[in-house]
Amino acid sequence: MKESIHDMPSLQNAKKRTRAPIVFSREDLVISSRLREFARGKRYFIRTYGCQANVVDSETIAGILEEIGFVSSNQMEDSDVILLNTCAVRENAEDKVFGEVGALKNLFSKNSKKVLGICGCMAQEPHVVESIRKHYPQVNLIFGTHNIKHFAQLLDEVLFENKKVIEVSSCEGEVIENLPKIQLEQYKAFVNIMYGCDKFCTYCIVPYTRGKQRSRLKEDILKEIIDLKEKGYKEVTLLGQNVNAYGKDFHNEESFATLLEEVAKTDIERIRFTTSHPWDFDESMIEVMAKYKNIMPFLHLPLQSGSNEILRKMGRRYTIESYLELVDKLRKAIPNIALSTDIIVGFPEESEEDFLCTLEAVKKCQYDSAFTFIYSPRIGTPAAKMNDSVSRVTKGERFHRLVTTLEESIAKKAQAYVGKIVSVLVDGPSKKDESMYSGYNEQNKLVHFKGTPDLIGKIIPVRILESHTYSLIGEVVHE
Ligand code: 5AD
Ligand code: SF4
């Protein structure tokens, strides 16, 4: 099969940050009539790995596929277009994708009018694209995070010119509005407020795979939220790699605090946001969070490490003292706030002493939830050139000690809900037991209770009877 290469990824270009203004574009989809014709009665399947940015991209890709005429399927085997929207943040995420692509080989040799596409952050990595070209002939489409706007044309070329198509741009990126979107959930939605990242923490591949920081215009964000509210959505989560840096690229008065306040004034019932960087978090954001009841008392505030030396090597630009001070201010202003975090163990040259600083910080912060990771070197990042000196055994051992310490505070926080009434936005029945329903309380804790289908999408009071580390069990309070 011939290859048609439109653009190939380059880490060198991906790390450029020029002063060029942000390009805003309103895309109109170009869909050929032969593609519309082909799509009739055909199915698509998207597997999404990684973070919420990928979830939203998958919603857009699904929107484009449905606009073309494809219908969604939850079975890979009987789908005509299969896409893997991938994550590059750690090696184990990448291994899963390679495993899945390998397993699909037979499906594809039998039927040539199928599309197997790789998109998302792994597509932005030159070594991944090379490896797919060499070892996985069943993949006939590769496109990057900046190339979603051309997806319909790329699909047309694969299907009708019988080519393997690669289009991965390593650029600073644009802000694109107007692309269609199929929201995966009916009552909760993710809303991008910005794209990309300019922080370049030394371990992280994201600034290379998603381009420079670009904020969406406030009017576009507010319009999307008001539309969602009118459609019956109860909760929005504002998304960005560093939401607190929202608007900094406009070089005007716009800030995350002013945006958040206006979102709160739309009166949508629940507002969350993620991810916050401790470095950009200022007092005005705390004030807005404390002032509005529809901003949920929950904050994901990645710590990464409790050692100043490691934080410096990670390029995080805060100290453990300033992080703890921020936590203190947040707890004073919003006493019922729940905190969650991300922590990496085994960063290059992390000593036992450094690790103990992390354990100490974790004890002080008393988190309500946490994501923990073993450091994974990413090709092209500055940390990948550092001495990855901590042995696998030590990394594993530190990981376990960290999880044990975190779980003490997480379980204690969960225990404190017992006997209290919390409000829960009901998601739906559990897969294992149809009579058990679940949803999240304001502090983002998972709550299970006996329920009925009419409760789905409602915010209801639930009395907590029992706590586990990662969930609560309760009963619906009938008023
Ligand atoms: N190795 C391990 N964890 C990482 N993260 C990001 N890059 C790496 C890496 N190279 C973690 C960080 C980040 C979260 C999304 O993933 O903790 O906050
Ligand atoms: Fe990665 Fe740091 Fe940007 Fe987060 S802030 S996406 S960890 S570079």
Q: What spacing in Å lies between the alpha carbon of 349 and ligand 2's midpoint?
A: 20
Q: How much of the chain is helix, strand and coil, in % rounded to 5?
A: 40, 25, 35
* Predicted TM-score (pTM) of this structure: 0.96
**Whole-number pLDDT of residue 110:** 57
Residue identifier of the C-alpha nearest atom 4 of ligand 2? 241
What is the per-residue pLDDT across 388-409, written as a single tens digit (0 to 9) for each? Answer: 999 999 999 999 999 999 999 9
The residue assigned the tokens 């044990």 is 404
**Whole-number pLDDT of residue 434:** 87
Closest alpha carbon to 120 in 92, 99, 151: 151
Atom nearest to 275 CA in ligand 1: 18
Q: What spacing in Å lies between the alpha carbon of 302 and ligand 1's midpoint?
A: 10
Cα(392)–Cα(388) distance, rounded to whole angstroms? 10
User: 400 and 359 in contact (C-beta within 8 Å)?
Assistant: no
Number of Cβ within 10 Å of residue 59's Cβ equals 20
Given ligand 2 and candidates 54, 199, 210, 305, which is best to mutate, with the most ligand atoms within 8 Å of its CB? 199
Output the six-digit token pair for 14: 């991906």
**Whole-number pLDDT of residue 338:** 98
User: In 3-state terms, what secondary structure has residue 309?
Assistant: helix
Q: What spacing in Å lies between the alpha carbon of 471 and ligand 1's midpoint?
A: 24
User: 254 and 215 in contact (C-beta within 8 Å)?
Assistant: yes
Given ligand 2 and candidates 206, 208, 310, which is best to mutate, with the most ligand atoms within 8 Å of its CB? 206
Number of Cβ within 10 Å of residue 113's Cβ equals 11
Number of Cβ within 10 Å of residue 289's Cβ equals 23
Closest alpha carbon to 50 in 266, 205, 252, 243: 205
**Whole-number pLDDT of residue 111:** 55
Atom nearest to 203 CA in ligand 1: 10
Half-sphere exposure in the Cβ direction for 196 (13 Å, CA): 24
Nearest ligand, measured from the Cα of 277: 2
Nearest ligand, measured from the Cα of 206: 2
Nearest ligand, measured from the Cα of 240: 2
Q: What spacing in Å lies between the alpha carbon of 404 and ligand 1's midpoint?
A: 20
Cα→Cα distances 54→41, 93, 110, 192, 475, Å:
26, 13, 30, 11, 34
Q: Which domains does the chain have, with CATH numbers?
A: 2-167 (3.40.50.12160), 186-293 (3.30.750.210), 297-415 (3.30.750.200), 421-476 (2.40.50.140)
399 lines ligand 1 (CB under 6 A): no
Q: What spacing in Å lies between the alpha carbon of 140 and ligand 1's midpoint?
A: 30
Atom nearest to 89 CA in ligand 1: 7
Atom nearest to 378 CA in ligand 1: 10
**Whole-number pLDDT of residue 10:** 95
Residue identifier of the C-alpha nearest atom 2 of ligand 2? 201
Angle separating helix axes 320-333 and 352-365, nearest 10 degrees: 10
Atom nearest to 242 CA in ligand 2: 5
User: 400 and 148 in contact (C-beta within 8 Å)?
Assistant: no
**Whole-number pLDDT of residue 109:** 65
Q: For the chain (length 479 residues), average pLDDT per consecutive 10?
A: 94 92 86 97 97 96 97 94 97 93 80 88 98 95 97 96 95 94 94 97 97 96 98 98 94 92 98 96 96 98 98 98 98 98 98 98 98 97 96 98 98 98 96 91 98 96 97 94
207 lines ligand 2 (CB under 6 A): yes
Residue identifier of the C-alpha nearest atom 1 of ligand 2? 204
**Whole-number pLDDT of residue 394:** 98
Q: What spacing in Å lies between the alpha carbon of 378 and ligand 1's midpoint?
A: 10
Angle separating helix axes 91-103 and 126-135, nearest 10 degrees: 20
**Whole-number pLDDT of residue 206:** 97
Q: What spacing in Å lies between the alpha carbon of 302 and ligand 2's midpoint?
A: 10
